Amino acid sequence: MSDQILEAIQKTSQRMDKLEERLASMDRLLERMEGIEQTLDTVCLMQERAPVLVDGMAHTVDLVYDEATKRGIDFVERGQLGLELMEKASEPKTMALINRLLERTDLLELAADVSERFAKLGKTAEFKEFLDNDMLEPKTFDIAHTTTQALLQTHKEGHEPVGPFGALMAMRDPAVQRTVGFTLGMARRFGQMLDN
């Protein structure tokens, strides 16, 4: 009979162990359910507040759109331009060029430095005076081009030394007379400017 009692005690003990395991599982399940309940509470709260948030965002977007429209900004046009720019920027040729530029950061830094210097130069009174001067007129470039062409052609064809009498003899040529007259006129004006 004692064996039967021992066996009954063992079975009862095993059942108690299983019951404790189940109770522990139920505790874990209850903890999870509490977490789910808190999440659901948050979702419900967000659901209640969502219309107010959406309405506020829509109102803000409307205000921004109205202000941009008043300034002449067309979002559709800007969006299309942005997409075209993205398409061009992502083309293989463009990407290859960007990669080449990134490999030469030393040149980019130099270009940025030169750009900054030109920006500073552009703010000076001397540079503004230079731009307002006749220096940038097309006629000035024509004269510089003609002078350069004459120099290059003379250098290419060659020339012989000329003494004072040779120079006097060359003065019979109308082309030489025009050149000497131009040179003397420029020398006179340059001297006057040096005096100022």
Give the residue carrying structure tokens 């009979």: 1
Taking the C-alpha atoms of residue 170 and residue 2, their distance in angstroms, rounded to an integer, is 149
Does the predicted TM-score (pTM) go above 0.75?
no
Of 86, 104, 108, the closest CA to residue 95 belongs to 86
Taking the C-alpha atoms of residue 54 and residue 12, their distance in angstroms, rounded to an integer, is 61
Stated length of the chain: 196
Cα separation values, 148 from 151, 154, 176, Å:
5, 10, 17
Does an H or E element contain 8, and which?
A: helix 2-70
94 close to 88: Cβ distance less than 8 angstroms: yes
| Residue 185: predicted pLDDT | 92
| Residue 41: predicted pLDDT | 75
Higher pLDDT, 89 or 8: 89
Question: Does residue 112 have a pLDDT over 80?
Answer: yes
Taking the C-alpha atoms of residue 187 and residue 157, their distance in angstroms, rounded to an integer, is 27
Angle CA 145–192–128, to nearest 5: 60
Mean predicted confidence (pLDDT) in 127-135: 72
Taking the C-alpha atoms of residue 40 and residue 179, their distance in angstroms, rounded to an integer, is 96
127 close to 120: Cβ distance less than 8 angstroms: no
Mean predicted confidence (pLDDT) in 120-137: 75
Q: Kindly give the residue spans of alpha helices, DSSP state H, lying in 71-137.
A: 75-89, 92-103, 105-122, 125-132
Per-residue pLDDT tens over the stretch 51-95: 777 777 777 878 877 887 888 888 778 888 888 888 888 888 888
